[in-house]
Amino acid sequence: MNALDGIRVVDLTHAISGPTCTNALVQMGAEVVKVEPPHVGDGFRHYTEHAGEPLLSVPFASINAGKRSIALDLKIDAARDVLWKLVERADMLVENYRPGVLARLGFSIEDLRRRNPRLIVVSITGFGQDGPLAQWGAYDHIAQAISGIAALGAIDGEPRKIGLPIIDSFAGYIAVIGALAALRRRDATGEGEHVDVAMLDAALKLANQAVSVHSYTGRTPGGSGNRGFRMVPTSEFYPTGEGWIALGANNQTQVEALLSVLGAEAMLTDLRMADHAARVANHDFVRTWLTDQLAGWRAEDLERALTDAKVPAAMIRDVGGIVTHPHIVQRGSLDMVDLPGHDRPLATMGPGFITGRESDSASDPAPLRRVPVLGADGEAILTELGYDPAAVAALRSEGAAA
């Protein structure tokens, strides 16, 4: 049994943040019906790295497997009637339109809650449902920019963008937390509620330490680039003779172990290396010295030597170098899904955690979750809602459903 077995979710999301939320709900066992515009679907279907099938990109597949898809034109009354039927039997509705769009479609929060008092509505936007910025549009890098995260990563005054949609994804997971908290509260009270998630809030949650430093000191932390917020040179990225390595010698014991591995214990007598404050104050000297020392190592060998000495360290790998690593394989961190039009499964990430529950029997594995073809489940969903074949045909002829 999965944690969310029996929970029904109406998914009105697109792009990354909303589908990331509903993807996690699927992975915990929820039944998710993804409502998409006819013929075009979620815009993320058209993204880069197409999977060879129409309206099917690999990024879309990575966060939408296991959902059922119905194509409805919500500008048509008959399609809105279908959505109301889905809402009336649902536990959750997740959407990431701009504030006000859902109401203009005829599904205000008040109307949704009136039709289904137990419904939990999760709204994900760039800046929240109200406030001076509420109607601003947002993409991941916009949230990185306005939140201060791009400035925190600045190098020589030039702001830096994190090279993956970290705010989009994290906002989706914040939405999952909010949804599960609301579900727990509904179990106790019988009443649903509205969960308001903003990408800006999610970004500032990631930057929480900097927020508190500013609150306490009145100063804004400056850009640290690869130095990180501890600013100590023994905890940075370095080139080696072959490859790059991340060092994590933050405390005195770790620094002493690092110097021991390098055969340079005598450096502890150098006042520029004596303690944390000295190493921060003499950053350029320490970094230059370490760069020279590491030039004679291979990153893979140094990673092994340092981790054996209890110094956190990792060779800098690309994604392909880690997803095939025996550690990831043994943990079962990857989730294999059925990709339409292909005879081999697609690897995506699992939920990101492992519970104490025993896994299903290897002799009776669960079927692979399938990436939804646009509208492929529409007829089955409409039949479940009570539409007979003639009514389904009428919806299609009207253009309400595809």
Please check whether residue 59 is in contact with residue 48, taking contact to mean a CB–CB distance below 8 angstroms.
yes
Which letter, b or e, does each residue of 12-23 get, where b requires 16 or more Cβ atoms within 10 Å of its Cβ?
A: bbbbbbbbbbbb
Query: Does the annotation mark 168 as catalytic?
Result: yes
Sign of CA dihedral 164, 36, 82, 373: negative
Tokens 């399609």 appear where? 79
C-alpha 187, offset from chain centre:
27
> Residue 111 is encoded by which pair of tokens?
């109307």
Please check whether residue 293 is in contact with residue 277, taking contact to mean a CB–CB distance below 8 angstroms.
no
Neighbours of 240 (CB within 10 A): 21
Q: Active site residue: 91, 140, 168, 377, which one?
A: 168
Quickly list H helices, 230-295. Answer: 252-261, 276-281, 283-294
Q: Is 360 exposed, middle or buried (0-12, 13-18, 19+ CB in 10 A)?
A: exposed
Q: How far is CA 123 from CA 65, 73, 187, 193, 334, in A?
A: 21, 20, 20, 11, 28
Q: Kindly report the backbone phi and psi dihedral angles of residue 233, in degrees, each rounded to the nearest multiple of 5, phi listed first.
A: -70, -15
d(Cα 385, Cα 156) in Å, to the nearest integer? 59
Please check whether residue 350 is in contact with residue 333, taking contact to mean a CB–CB distance below 8 angstroms.
yes
> Residue 304 is encoded by which pair of tokens?
């092994």
Segment (H or E) for 329: helix 326-331
* Residues annotated as part of the active site: 168
